[in-house]
Amino acid sequence: MDKTVNTAKKNEFLKIPFITKFAYGCGDVACNISFGVVGTFLTLFYTDYIGISAAAIGTIMLISRIFDGVSDVIMGYIVSHTKSKYGQSRPWILWTAIPYTISIILLFTVPNTSSTLQLIYIFVTYNLSTTVMYTAVNLPYGSLSAMLTRDQEERDMISIFRMAMSPFGRIAISIFTMPIVKLLGNDQRAWVISISIWAVVALFLLLFCFLKCEENVTVTERSDKKKEGKGKETLKALFTNQYFWMAGVLWMAQNATIGITGLMLPYYCKYIFQNETWMYSTLYFCEFVTVIIGVMICPIFMKRFGKRNIVLAGAVIGVAAQFIFMSNPYSFELALATAILRGIGCSPLNACVFGMLNDAVEFGHWKSGLRQEAYIFSAGSVGSKVAPGVTGAIVTGLMTMSGYISSTSGSAVQPQSALDTIVSIYSYGPLIVWAIIIFVMLFYKLDKIYPTIMAELAERESRGEC
């Protein structure tokens, strides 16, 4: 057959040692340092320390998502054609580690000049960090999980380690950044020093991930494969893989929920609860510690009920949490309870979403004969970045329409209309995303047919077929 095939070597189904799973999880901690900085504090920094309007920042982020989508596709192509002594995905973690961490620091070194030049600088550095460098490290990092083993349980556990450890990057950012900033003078210089510390931490974590995660799945091409039509066949296989689309939407939803809560929580604590330090840290810490614990417990329920059922149950819990919060959005105690419940609801999605993408790789291989690790993760990554970009643009646009006041001192008095908008976004935004997740999961059936798919693939490969 005129297809891409996997050699199905014995070591492709090997058990992955703990140190490799832990190192792989460290890679996402590093990625989430950047993700946490951008998704949690960057907009606040631009509006309340540099004095840029929320609408301008939202517009830059939305436009950048267009470039980001293109960069994901390009990077997916580059990774799929990479050949080195380290493998296909793994070497990119080494090659991009240093420039990636430098790009995080550049986000906060906005020059003290005219507003026009500041906006140009923000646009360039934002795209350098998120469009170029984050894509160059995170996309091959994600596809690396499918290259470590083809054993489904092992890949699920790798994803569990990833999602159980990834919040540590955001938690560290959320708990310690503002206190450090205030300790160092609560100005731009303080932000640059604080972010530089996180950048160095991310660098060492990425290097550790590279050293301990070796690729075991080898993808080869048959000699009779014609170059003509490869692109067309690849796109057709990707677009007709319904479970890629479902997993992609779930990945978007996961990022949208993080984007909404991460973006709005600093504003909520600062202007609604009048406390941007310990209240913010407490809410963020409790929610994501709950996610970590929940993700670690999820394998027990995953084996018994399947990925689809536990993600659906989590989404229902998420909806209930938001309704509870809306009963009194000005109560810190209720906000804390909601954060914990929301963490419980997020846990199954966090635990399963990358396992679902890996399952979509095998489904696509079974359906079309093509293995598309890099393409599936790159295409899925497009959606995952579009989601926070769109939500960020909507959120900042609504804040600007409500009369939100940007400043360089961080102490502006906001009008009641802006305060009401902050409350509404934090209340209704996550509710909409949870409803989308429930809708998608009602159509997800891959759990039931996956064992049959893998058995048929094993039989084909034993005969030397694709």
pLDDT of residue 410: 60
Highest-scoring range by mean pLDDT, 163-177, 224-238, 433-447: 433-447
Summarize pLDDT for 86-124 with one digit per residue, the tens.
888 999 999 999 999 999 999 999 999 998 999 999 999
pLDDT of residue 169: 83
* Segments of 316-463 assigned E as strands: none
- Which spans in 402-445 are helix H? 416-441
Check pLDDT > 70 for residue 466: no
3-state secondary structure of 405: coil
Check pLDDT > 60 for residue 190: yes
Mean pLDDT of the chain: 85
How far, in Å, are 69, 124, 125, 279 from residue 119 at the CA level?
A: 21, 9, 10, 31
| Residue whose structure tokens are 């990554």 | 381
Per-position DSSP letters for 151-214, written without gaps between them: -HHHHHHHHHHHHHHTHHHHHHHHHHHHHHHHHTTSSHHHHHHHHHHHHHHHHHHHHHHHHH--
pLDDT of residue 3: 43
Q: Tell me which of 8-17, 347-356, 389-398 is least confident.
A: 8-17
Q: Are 156 and 106 in contact (CB under 8 A)?
A: no
Exposure string over 30-64, b if 16+ CB within 10 A, otherwise e? bbbbbbbbbbbbbbbbbbbbbbbbbbbbbbbbbeb
Q: Are 373 and 244 in contact (CB under 8 A)?
A: no
Nearest to 373 by CA among 87, 51, 61, 68: 87
What whole-number distance in Å separates Cα of residue 187 and Cα of residue 407? 12
Burial of 245 (0-12, 13-18, 19+ CB in 10 A): middle
pLDDT of residue 409: 59
Check pLDDT > 80 for residue 342: yes
- The more confidently predicted of residues 336 and 73 is 336
Helices (H) and strands (E) in the chain, counts: 17, 2
**How sure is the predictor about 225, in pLDDT bands with cuts at 50, 70 and 90?**
very low
Q: Tell me which of 8-17, 136-145, 393-402, 410-419 is least confident.
A: 8-17
Q: How many CB atoms lie within 10 A of CB 328?
A: 10
Residues near 399 by Cβ (< 8 Å), separated by ≥ 6? 54, 55, 267, 418, 421, 422, 425
pLDDT of residue 262: 78
DSSP 414: P
**How sure is the predictor about 8, in pLDDT bands with cuts at 50, 70 and 90?**
very low
| Residue whose structure tokens are 């809560």 | 261
Could you give the domains of the chain?
4-217+230-462 (1.20.1250.20)
Highest-scoring range by mean pLDDT, 9-13, 166-170, 413-417: 413-417
**pTM of the prediction?**
0.68
Q: Tell me which of 3-12, 102-111, 440-449 is least confident.
A: 3-12
- Per-residue pLDDT averaged across 304-332, rounded? 94
- Per-residue pLDDT averaged across 435-454, rounded? 92
- The more confidently predicted of residues 18 and 171 is 18
pLDDT of residue 317: 95
Summarize pLDDT for 370-429 with one digit per residue, the tens.
877 777 777 776 666 677 777 878 888 888 889 988 766 566 788 999 999 999 999 999
Where residue 87 falls (left for φ over 0; alpha for ψ -120 to 50; beta otherwise) is: left
> Cα 161 from chain centroid?
15
Check pLDDT > 90 for residue 208: yes
Longest dimension (CA), the chain: 72
Nearest to 316 by CA among 435, 440, 425: 435
Q: Helix-strand-coil percent breakdown of the chain, rounded to 5? A: 80, 0, 20
**How sure is the predictor about 231, in pLDDT bands with cuts at 50, 70 and 90?**
low
**How sure is the predictor about 233, in pLDDT bands with cuts at 50, 70 and 90?**
confident
Check pLDDT > 50 for residue 5: no
Check pLDDT > 90 for residue 232: no
